[in-house]
Chains A and B, each alone.
Chain A
Amino acid sequence: MKAHYACQSSEHLVARRQFLGSLAGGFVVGGLGALTNPLAAAELSRQQMRVLVVFMAGGVSQLETWDPKPKTDTGGPFRAIPTAVPGMHISELLPLTAVHMDKLALVRSIDTKNNDHGKGRYQMEFGRNQMPGMEFPHLGAVCARGLERSDNPLPGYIKVGGGSRGSDAAWLGPKYASVGINGKPPANSERPGGLSEDVDLLRNKFRQRANERFLKQRRTAETDVYTQSFEQARDLMTRRDVFDVELEPASEKQKYGDSQLGKHCLMARRLLENGIPFVQVSHSNYDTHNENFNFHLEQLGEFDRAFSALIGDLHDRGMMESTLVVVMSEFGRTPKINARYGRDHWGKAWSVCLGGAKIQPGAVIGATNANGTEVVERPVDHGHLFHTYLSAVGMDSLGTFNVGGRDMVIADPSHEPIHELIV
Chain B
Amino acid sequence: MTVDPKQTHVVHEWKHGRPLIACRFDPTGRFLFSSSEDYTLQRWEVASGEKTAWEAHDSWVRGFAFSADGAVVVSAGCDDRLIFWHTDDETPAPIREVVAHKGWVRTIAVQPATGLIASGGNDRLVKLWSPDGKPVAAFEGHDSDVYSLLFHPTENLLLSGDLSGKVHQWDVDSGKLLRTFDAADLHTYNKGQRVHYGGVRDMALSPDGSLLALTGLHKATNPLGAVNEPLILLFDWQNGEKVRAQPADGIRGIGWRTQFLEDGSEICASGGAGGGYLLFLKTAEEKPWHQLKLKDTVRDMDLHPDGLLVATTHFDGHIRLCQMSAKSD
Chain A residues within CB distance 8 Å of chain B: 58, 70-71, 73, 76-79, 260, 284-285, 287-291, 294-295, 297-299, 337-340, 342
Within 8 A of A (CB), among B26-78: 37-39, 58-60, 78
Q: B104 — which chain A residues lie within 8 A by C-beta?
A: 77
Between-chain CB contacts (< 8 Å), 23 pairs: A58-B224, A73-B37, A73-B38, A77-B78, A77-B104, A78-B78, A79-B58, A260-B194, A284-B194, A285-B192, A285-B193, A288-B224, A289-B224, A290-B225, A291-B223, A295-B223, A297-B145, A337-B19, A339-B296, A339-B297, A339-B315, A340-B297, A342-B226
Q: Is B18 an interface residue (CB 8 A)?
A: yes
Q: Would you call B196 and A290 a contact (CB within 8 A)?
A: no
Q: Which of A70, A79, A337 contacts B37 (CB 8 A)?
A: A337
Question: Would you list the 9 A-B pairs with minimal beta carbon distance, nearest first?
Answer: A290-B226, A339-B315, A77-B78, A77-B60, A285-B193, A77-B59, A339-B297, A340-B226, A287-B224
Q: Least Cβ distance of B6 to chain A in Å?
A: 27
Q: A77 — which chain B residues lie within 8 A by C-beta?
A: 59-60, 78, 104
Q: Would you call A284 and B193 a contact (CB within 8 A)?
A: yes
Query: Given contacts A73-B18, A299-B195, A340-B272, is CB(A79)–CB(B79) below 8 Å?
Result: yes
Q: A288 — which chain B residues lie within 8 A by C-beta?
A: 224
Q: Least Cβ distance of B51 to chain A in Å?
A: 19
Q: Is B323 an interface residue (CB 8 A)?
A: no
Q: Is B197 an interface residue (CB 8 A)?
A: yes
Query: Given contacts A73-B18, A340-B273, A342-B226, is CB(A285)–CB(B195) below 8 Å?
Result: yes
Q: Would you call B223 and A298 a contact (CB within 8 A)?
A: no
Bound Cα distance from A79 to B57, whole angstroms: 11
Q: Least Cβ distance of B257 to chain A in Å?
A: 16
Q: Would you call B297 and A295 a contact (CB within 8 A)?
A: no
Q: B193 — which chain A residues lie within 8 A by C-beta?
A: 284-285, 287
Q: Is the interface of B mostly helix, strand, loop or mixed?
A: loop
Q: Least Cβ distance of B314 to chain A in Å?
A: 9
Q: Is B122 an interface residue (CB 8 A)?
A: yes
Bound Cα distance from A58 to B225, whole angstroms: 12
Extra A-B contacts (15), CB below 8 Å, given A287-B224, A339-B271: A70-B59, A71-B39, A79-B79, A260-B194, A285-B193, A287-B193, A290-B273, A291-B226, A295-B195, A297-B103, A297-B122, A297-B145, A298-B196, A339-B315, A340-B272
Bound Cα distance from A166 to B157, whole angstroms: 58
Q: A289 — which chain B residues lie within 8 A by C-beta?
A: 224-226
Q: Would you call A295 and B224 a contact (CB within 8 A)?
A: yes
Q: B39 — which chain A residues lie within 8 A by C-beta?
A: 71
Question: How does the 8 Å CB contact mask read for B10-27 relative to A, with 1 for contact and 0 for none?
Answer: 000000001100000000
Q: Least Cβ distance of B17 to chain A in Å?
A: 11
Q: B60 — which chain A residues lie within 8 A by C-beta?
A: 76-77
Bound Cα distance from A77 to B62, whole angstroms: 10
Chain B residues within CB distance 8 Å of chain A: 18-19, 37-39, 58-60, 78-79, 103-104, 122, 145, 192-197, 223-226, 271-273, 296-297, 315
Bound Cα distance from A337 to B194, whole angstroms: 22
Nearest chain A residue, comparing its CB with the CB of B60: A77
Query: Given contacts A58-B224, A285-B194, A291-B223, is CB(A70)–CB(B58) below 8 Å?
Result: yes
Bound Cα distance from A317 to B59, whole angstroms: 39
Q: A58 — which chain B residues lie within 8 A by C-beta?
A: 224
Q: Least Cβ distance of A111 to chain B in Å?
A: 24
Bound Cα distance from A255 to B59, whole angstroms: 30
Bound Cα distance from A284 to B103, whole angstroms: 23
Q: Least Cβ distance of B188 to chain A in Å?
A: 12
Q: Least Cβ distance of B255 to chain A in Å?
A: 14
Q: A284 — which chain B residues lie within 8 A by C-beta?
A: 193-194
Q: B58 — which chain A residues lie within 8 A by C-beta?
A: 70-71, 79
Bound Cα distance from A339 to B316, whole angstroms: 8
Nearest chain A residue, comparing its CB with the CB of B253: A340
Q: B192 — which chain A residues lie within 8 A by C-beta?
A: 285
Q: A260 — which chain B residues lie within 8 A by C-beta?
A: 194
Q: Least Cβ distance of A304 to chain B in Å?
A: 13
Bound Cα distance from A78 to B271, whole angstroms: 23
Q: A338 — which chain B residues lie within 8 A by C-beta?
A: 315
Bound Cα distance from A58 to B67, whole angstroms: 44
Nearest chain B residue, comparing its CB with the CB of A287: B224
Bound Cα distance from A260 to B58, whole angstroms: 33
Bound Cα distance from A79 to B59, whole angstroms: 7
Q: Would you call B297 and A285 a contact (CB within 8 A)?
A: no
Bound Cα distance from A88 to B304, whole angstroms: 47
Q: A337 — which chain B residues lie within 8 A by C-beta?
A: 19, 37
Query: Given contacts A285-B193, A285-B194, is CB(A290)–CB(B79) below 8 Å?
Result: no
Q: B79 — which chain A residues lie within 8 A by C-beta?
A: 79
Q: Least Cβ distance of B201 to chain A in Å?
A: 11
Bound Cα distance from A290 to B18, whole angstroms: 19
Q: B297 — which chain A residues lie within 8 A by C-beta?
A: 339-340
Q: A298 — which chain B residues lie within 8 A by C-beta?
A: 195-196
Q: B195 — which chain A residues lie within 8 A by C-beta?
A: 285, 295, 298-299
Q: Least Cβ distance of A120 to chain B in Å?
A: 16
Q: Which of B103, B224, B226, B315 contacts A285 (CB 8 A)?
A: B224
Q: Least Cβ distance of A270 to chain B in Å?
A: 23
Q: B19 — which chain A residues lie within 8 A by C-beta?
A: 337, 339
Q: A287 — which chain B residues lie within 8 A by C-beta?
A: 193, 224-225
Q: B224 — which chain A residues lie within 8 A by C-beta?
A: 58, 285, 287-290, 295
Bound Cα distance from A78 to B80, whole angstroms: 11
Bound Cα distance from A77 to B80, whole angstroms: 11
Q: Least Cβ distance of A286 to chain B in Å?
A: 8
Q: B145 — which chain A residues lie within 8 A by C-beta?
A: 297
Nearest chain A residue, comparing its CB with the CB of B197: A291
Q: Least Cβ distance of A284 to chain B in Å?
A: 5
Bound Cα distance from A311 to B145, whole angstroms: 28
Q: Least Cβ distance of B83 to chain A in Å?
A: 15
Q: Would you call A290 and B223 a contact (CB within 8 A)?
A: yes
